[in-house]
A = this chain, B = another copy of it.
Amino acid sequence: MAVSVLPQMKQAPEMNPVERLMAATAADMARVNDLILDRARSHVDMVPELARYLIDSGGKRLRPMLTVAAAILFGRGQGHAVNFAAAVEFMHNATLLHDDVVDESDMRRGKPAARMVWGNKASILVGDFLLGQAFMMMVETGDIEALGVLSAASAVMAEGEVFQLAKTGDLETSAADYAEVIRAKTAVLFEAACAVGAMSGGADAAGRKALALYGLELGNAFQLVDDALDYGGQSGTLGKNVGDDLREGKMTLPVILALEAASDSERAIIASALGKPDATDLEVHQVVAIFNRYDTLRRTLDKARDHAKAAIAALDSLPDSEMKTILADVVQHSVSRAS
């Protein structure tokens, strides 16, 4: 039965869940990728050069795959998933371009960040262009309800980034503040990607709600794992250096939990390295030693697993299918990255 719905999927038990998701969405994702390349075109050469440098840089395209997968889960319906998926990827890439400028990041996905090649100015403006193109692709669907979901996500994401910026280096940042930051800057786009996929697949209100919650909780889990990995020494995998968040003064859960428990002298060690761009590896290791003393990386990953469970539970009410199994397994896989 699954084979007839997903003819392009080979029975390959050795594939991991993300690979299975890729196989199960391959036909629609080929159209999404064509649309992405088409809409990154411009008579201004710098626009497609910069956009494609980022877009082709080996990201998994998890968010648009979730949009397509959600549509397939509900039987595809009116078939606007391709437009929404491309729009979601453009929104994500616009955010990456602006974030790299804001964070002064040198690297992205193991390559020099676009801003290191074309400069901050072009990164800001091409980000704006991608956002405009994303909205044009949404408008073409004529689906005003889905447009509302994605435009709200766009505003909330920016608000979340400002909140994170305002909290940079703020030792009083609470776990609740952090939960709000990751919800807004990361989870809301996962939520919107899944919701508009479900909508274009013809889901009823309960189905949309289930997929939106699935996306939200997957996004929360995803960001918590990322924030634990930033201190986890998996630099090669993530294309990021260990301790980047510390040097940028980002108040992520491992540091918030450590500050809650730390002695005055430990607090001083953390405060001294936090937001110090040239903090040495030794300083980072001293901070990680404090994290280990209070088990804050494990507690961060426990929190990620709680969200992962909630994501999987959100799918409970839906009828069993091959795609439902894949979506649940993708959640498991995303938290297993850090174990």
- Give the interface of A toward B (CB within 8 A): 42-47, 98, 101-102, 120-122, 124-126, 128-129, 131-133, 135-136, 138-140, 142, 144, 147-148, 151-159, 161-163, 165-166
Q: Which of A122, A139, A148, A157 has the most CB of B within 10 A?
A: A139
Ordered by A's residue number, 24 sampled pairs between the chains whose C-beta atoms are within 8 Å are: A43-B163, A44-B159, A45-B166, A101-B124, A102-B125, A121-B165, A122-B162, A125-B158, A125-B162, A128-B157, A128-B161, A129-B159, A132-B154, A132-B155, A133-B155, A135-B135, A135-B155, A136-B151, A136-B152, A136-B155, A139-B148, A139-B151, A140-B148, A144-B144
Q: Contacts A44-B163, A45-B166 given; indicate if A151 touches B122 (C-beta within 8 A).
A: no
**A27 to B: closest C-beta gap in Å:** 28
B residues less than 8 Å from A156 (CB atoms):
132
**A173 to B: closest C-beta gap in Å:** 13
Known A101-B120, A132-B158; further 12 A-B contacts with Cβ < 8 A: A45-B166, A47-B159, A98-B125, A98-B128, A124-B124, A125-B161, A131-B131, A132-B152, A132-B155, A135-B135, A136-B148, A144-B144
**A120 to B: closest C-beta gap in Å:** 8
**A163 to B: closest C-beta gap in Å:** 4
B residues less than 8 Å from A98 (CB atoms):
124-125, 128
B residues less than 8 Å from A157 (CB atoms):
128, 132
List of 3 A-B pairs having minimum Cβ-Cβ separation, nearest first: A132-B155, A132-B154, A135-B151
B residues less than 8 Å from A126 (CB atoms):
158, 162
Q: Which residue of B lies closest to A128 (CB)?
A: B158
Copies in the complex: 2
B residues less than 8 Å from A162 (CB atoms):
42, 44, 46-47, 122, 125-126, 129
**A121 to B: closest C-beta gap in Å:** 4
**Complex Cα–Cα for A131 and B42 (A):** 21
**A196 to B: closest C-beta gap in Å:** 13
**Complex Cα–Cα for A302 and B48 (A):** 36
**A104 to B: closest C-beta gap in Å:** 9
User: Which of B44, B147, B152 is A147 in contact with, Cβ under 8 Å?
Assistant: B147
Q: Are B139 and A42 in contact (CB under 8 A)?
A: no
**Complex Cα–Cα for A124 and B120 (A):** 11
**Complex Cα–Cα for A166 and B42 (A):** 13
Q: Are B44 and A166 in contact (CB under 8 A)?
A: yes
B residues less than 8 Å from A147 (CB atoms):
135, 139, 144, 147
**A321 to B: closest C-beta gap in Å:** 32
Q: Which residue of B lies closest to A145 (CB)?
A: B139
B residues less than 8 Å from A101 (CB atoms):
120-121, 124
Q: Are A132 and B161 in contact (CB under 8 A)?
A: no
Q: Are A46 and B166 in contact (CB under 8 A)?
A: yes
